[in-house]
Amino acid sequence: MYYRMRRSQEVSQNIYAMLRGRTQAHGELKVDGVAEGYNMLDFPAVALILLLTLCLCHSTKESSILNLVMTVFHVIFFGFIIIVGFYKGSAKNLVEPGGLAPFGVKGVLDGAAIVYFSYIGYDSVSTMAEEIQNPAKSLPVGILGSVLIVTGLYCLMALSLCLLVPFNLIDKDASFSVAFGKIGWKWASNVVGAGASLGIVASLLVAMLGQARYLCVIGRARLVPPWFAKVNPSTGTPFNATLFLGLCTASIALFTELSVILEIISISTLLVFYMVANALIYRRYVVMSHNPPSQTLLFLFLLSSSAIGFSMSWKLDEQWRALPVFGGFMVAITAFFQYMVPSICQPDEAWAVPFMPWPAVTSIFLNVFLMTTLKAISFQRFGVWAFLITLFYVLYGVHSTYRAEEMGVGAGEIPVAHHPSAQQTKLDIRAL
């Protein structure tokens, strides 16, 4: 949900920067007497979210076609920016002023923690498993392929931007539009602003599409009211879940500033990826390989503890001597665990993570490391939301699922992909 609010607010900022030729105002209305970070009403973001919500409620097929068209134009803008950046840019801007890394290694890592949310959204493809052909093979290939392609484009665009203007002249709100204006290409500044907004709308559309399916599946499991799991018989879409999430997202985006959303998204994404990496190790070595759980749980505990120790030593400049100790300990216990605890892959599995447990261990370490670079306010805000969600789960989710099991209600009784219009979207969803 926060990812969707961030995208909508970025669009509103890009549009206003393009039309007004400045980035200090984004069509927001300031409200006095409200805490900082929540006192700016962003009506363009609300309008965009509601418009896309109506599109998704109408039909998945038409929404996927719209997304495909916008994605094509977005890729064209990518190519234009990269080519112009390398053609008009100068290598001197990469090293002047301050050198290649003016803020040092810590500055690079702090920036990585903030932009980590850029890797949200690829898992949205997995929510369409019921609506694509051969998901066991198509999903891993699609997710990994999209991550590699987008990462390459992201790096090329960042490099082209740094070639166009020095880092200290990069505008934080509309970087590419302002950069083209600084080299004298005013017309390109407006075109790039429009293209950036178009691309953000496309990614926002995909995020909203996947989010509604998440809520629909959770509703079928009775963790939330089953009303969210109902599928509209005429459109074949999870209408209730889509409408509810759209209204909630629009309400929060109305008064929450982009900086607050970025902080919550960053810590939430890092924690989710951390938990997934832990679950991957547990599933491979306990569920699939039938090893005693105590060995794997002890390894995960020692791994997380040493990762925290390494990260805190890095953050505290006077503790650099402890870095090789914690780093060497992590490598040692991982190698020992791999040697002592056998891993068995099921022969009927179409795809499995190779070189286990090293990829998951690396993910655990990086997520813990990047989380320690975030501000304390990020953990406080995340703690409030986590408490509210946990409270809802304890008061409603646990009892609802228990009653459903007692009554013999199956999670699969609510059809999702049997409607003809849903079946027609199989090929279209693959384009997402």
Summarised one tens digit per residue, pLDDT across range 239-296 is 888 889 889 888 888 888 777 777 788 888 888 889 999 999 999 999 888 888 999 9
User: Which residues are CB-contacts of 289 (< 8 A; sequence separation ≥ 6)?
Assistant: 341, 342, 343, 344
What's phi and psi for 373, nearest 5 deg? -85, -10
Higher-confidence residue: 171 or 300? 300
pLDDT band at 25; cut points 50, 70, 90? very low
Dihedral angle over CA of 49, 54, 55, 57, nearest 10? 120
Mean pLDDT throughout 229-244?
A: 83
pLDDT band at 358; cut points 50, 70, 90? very high
Q: Which of 63-72, 121-130, 230-239 has the largest mean confidence?
A: 230-239
Residue 13, pLDDT score? 46
Higher-confidence residue: 391 or 215? 391
pLDDT band at 420; cut points 50, 70, 90? very low
What is the sign of the dihedral through the CA atoms of 325, 331, 335 and 338? positive
Q: Does the structure show a pLDDT above 80 at 119?
A: no
First-residue to last-residue Cα distance in the chain: 19
For residues 198-217, one letter each, b for 16 or more C-beta atoms within 10 angstroms of the residue's C-beta and e for the rest, the string is bbbbbbbbbbbbbbbbbbbb
Q: Which CATH architecture has domain 2-256+421-430?
A: Up-down Bundle (1.20)
Q: Does the structure show a pLDDT above 90 at 27?
A: no
Q: Does the structure show a pLDDT above 50 at 4?
A: no
Q: How many CB atoms lie within 10 A of CB 236?
A: 23
Coil vs helix vs strand at 41: strand
% of residues, the chain, pLDDT over 90: 11
Q: Tokens 């759980």 belong to which residue?
A: 293
For residues 102-141, one letter each, b for 16 or more C-beta atoms within 10 angstroms of the residue's C-beta and e for the rest, the string is eeeeeeebeeebeebbeebbbebbbbbeebbeebeebbbe
Averaged confidence pLDDT in the chain: 76
Q: Where are the domains of the chain?
A: 2-256+421-430, 273-374
Residue 427, pLDDT score? 30
Query: Which two structure tokens, joined as six digits, stand for 354?
Result: 């190779």
Q: How many CB atoms lie within 10 A of CB 277?
A: 24
Residue 365, pLDDT score? 92
Cα 63 versus chain centre, distance: 20
What span, in angstroms and rounded, lies between the C-alpha atoms of 336 and 332?
Answer: 6
Mean pLDDT throughout 164-170?
A: 82
Q: Is 241:215 a contact under the CB 8 Å cutoff?
A: yes
pLDDT band at 414; cut points 50, 70, 90? very low
Residue 307, pLDDT score? 92
Residue 268, pLDDT score? 84
Residue 424, pLDDT score? 38
Q: Does the structure show a pLDDT above 90 at 299?
A: yes
Q: Does the structure show a pLDDT above 90 at 194?
A: no
Residue 278, pLDDT score? 94
The pTM (predicted TM-score) of the whole model is 0.69
Q: Is 372:110 a contact under the CB 8 Å cutoff?
A: no
Q: Which amino acid is at 249?
A: T
